[in-house]
Amino acid sequence: MIQPGLTVALDRWLAELQAIGGRAAQTQTAYRRDVTGFLGFLQSYDGDGLGRAALARLTTRTMRAWMAHERARGLSARSLARALSAVKSFVGWMAERDGFDPTPVLMTRSPRFNAKLPRPLAEDAARAVLETVELQSADDWVGARDTAVVVLLYGLGLRISEALSLRGADLPLGDVLRIIGKGGKERLVPVIPAARQAVEAYVRVCPYELEPDAALFRGVRGGALSARQIQKVMAATRAQLGLPASATPHAMRHSFATHLLNAGGDLRAIQELLGHASLSTTQAYTAVDTARLLEVYEAAHPRAE
């Protein structure tokens, strides 16, 4: 069995990630599952009680055996890459505290996989979504709510979690909205009139009191609106419009970035609006070509001539 000392260490590692990195709850859950699965494999692989010292004995062969085991049970290359990243982070953290060499783990190569590029909607399709979302509910206030959320995704480029994290205290929306994104990173997002109007329309008909410390967007029973509900509304909307399965709430954020870029927006400005740490992430997000990226690089890099 896995010894208590290792379980305690796992809990402390996760707590430290949360305190320092501000990892989202879903990320924490995935990391725990990945590392626990890895430790479970080690337990069966070695056949002895699994303690902290076992991590110091890890070899490249052991890591390869674990990866082969995971692929054999049907884990995708993408999921295995994520699990390996979690394992490397945990083992590296343990190595700093127990004083062993984590090189065999840290040098393990991640499996290759083809990253799925985002698929933004065409501009006319995005407009059609905004006009059709409200039709998916018989209740006027629910339709106004769903429209307001989707307008925030497309008009401001918010993640769905960011839109649903807004509180009553954010009302009325001003010219700029302060957003806390992934990793606790803060950014300021300009609020376009259409987004302000959509939220105001929802607030006027919402049957619940929108207290400052409570969720701005409410479910039909008054609780905080779930992302799943917006996903269902988008599914119904794309079915009505004949759009592909890629027309998800997150695709509206992709579309915001791509359409802004196509209209002449600066790639670095879009990076800031999206809250991306890396320009390369924004490049993939907007499907911008390498030539455009080089233009930005040459214009912004202090050593470019």
Point out the residues that are catalytic.
159, 182, 250, 253, 276, 285
* E strand or H helix that includes residue 177: strand 176-180
Look at residues 105, 94, 226, 205 and name the one whose alpha carbon lies nearest to residue 160: 226
Are residues 168 and 214 in contact, defined by beta-carbon separation less than 8 angstroms? yes
Using CA atoms, how far apart are residues 27 and 22, in angstroms rounded to an integer? Answer: 10
Using CA atoms, how far apart are residues 196 and 201, in angstroms rounded to an integer? Answer: 9
Using CA atoms, how far apart are residues 108 and 68, in angstroms rounded to an integer? Answer: 13
In DSSP terms, 50 is beta-bridged to: 2
Are residues 150 and 133 in contact, defined by beta-carbon separation less than 8 angstroms? yes
Are residues 21 and 86 in contact, defined by beta-carbon separation less than 8 angstroms? no
Beta-carbon count within 10 A of 12 CB: 13
Helix, strand, coil abundance in the chain, percent, nearest 5: 65, 5, 30
